[in-house]
């Protein structure tokens, strides 16, 4: 009877030890999953989502045109590249792009300028667009006739932006695309339309 009691105690000790090892393994897996979920939450909590848009207004005696982008995400967007093209042709700046895109009918600078007000904002690499912020690279106040020309111009205008989150996840978007497309990295900036 004494041997059986010792065997029973040692079997119980072995079962307890195996159970402790199983619990430790399960606890490690749970902790790993929790850490992974926490990292994912942190990544998502700084995810930007840029929307690029064009807008125009044609009133009775005034008109306007603008290109803008708004960060609809919950984290800041770091602009890595920005380009504006009309029918596949990129210009050195907005002055040249608007003149080419409107067949010279709208001039935003120089002696031939025929718009009332011009507001330009440069989107250089490294520009940070905070969540909820709106940036307007170009805004023109003009006549209703010029605004109509600019509305046609906006149908042919492709404004592309490549941006990254603080975790260096990157996306490319444009005024021709409803959703940003994930990319491995943003291309180097080849030209500046701002």
pLDDT of 63-116, one tens digit each?
999 999 999 999 999 999 999 999 889 888 999 999 999 999 999 999 999 999
* β partners of residue 173: 161
Predicted confidence band at 5 (pLDDT cuts at 50, 70, 90)? confident
Using CA atoms, how far residue 151 sits from 62, 72, 154, 156, 171, in Å, is 14, 24, 5, 9, 27
Q: How many CB atoms lie within 10 A of CB 143?
A: 17
Looking at residue 44, its pLDDT comes to: 61
Query: Which secondary-structure segment (H or E) carries 145?
Result: helix 144-156
Largest Cα–Cα distance of the chain, in whole Å?
113
Would residue 176 be called left, alpha or beta, if left means φ above 0 and alpha means ψ between -120 and 50 degrees? alpha
Please determine, for residue 191, whether its predicted confidence score (pLDDT) is greater than 70: no
Q: Is 35 helix (H, G, I), strand (E, B) or coil?
A: helix
Of residues 77 and 29, which shows the higher confidence score? 77
Alpha-carbon gap, residue 176 to 173, rounded angstroms = 8
Please determine, for residue 2, whether its predicted confidence score (pLDDT) is greater than 70: no
Q: Give me the mean pLDDT over the 122-130 stretch.
A: 92
Of residues 153 and 190, which shows the higher confidence score? 153
Please determine, for residue 190, whether its predicted confidence score (pLDDT) is greater than 70: no
Its pTM stands at: 0.75
What is the crossing angle of helices 94-101 and 144-156, to 10°? 90
């Amino acid at each position: 009877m004494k041997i059986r009691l010792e065997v029973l105690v040692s079997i119980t000790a072995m079962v307890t030890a195996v159970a402790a090892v199983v619990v430790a393994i399960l606890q490690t897996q749970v902790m790993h999953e929790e850490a992974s979920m926490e990292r994912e939450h942190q990544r998502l909590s700084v995810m930007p989502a840029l929307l690029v848009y064009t807008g125009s207004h044609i009133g009775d005696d005034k008109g306007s045109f603008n290109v803008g982008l708004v960060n609809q995400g919950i984290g800041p967007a770091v602009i890595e590249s920005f380009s504006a093209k009309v029918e596949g042709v990129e210009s050195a700046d907005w002055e040249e792009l608007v003149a080419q895109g409107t067949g010279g009918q709208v001039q935003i600078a120089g002696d031939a300028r025929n718009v009332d007000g011009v507001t330009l904002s440069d989107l250089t690499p490294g520009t940070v667009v905070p969540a909820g912020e709106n940036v307007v690279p170009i805004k023109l106040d003009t006549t209703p006739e010029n605004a109509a020309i600019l509305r046609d111009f906006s149908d042919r205008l492709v404004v592309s932006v490549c941006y990254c989150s603080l975790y260096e996840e990157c996306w490319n978007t444009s005024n021709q695309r409803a959703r940003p497309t994930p990319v491995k990295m943003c291309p180097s900036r080849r030209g500046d339309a701002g």
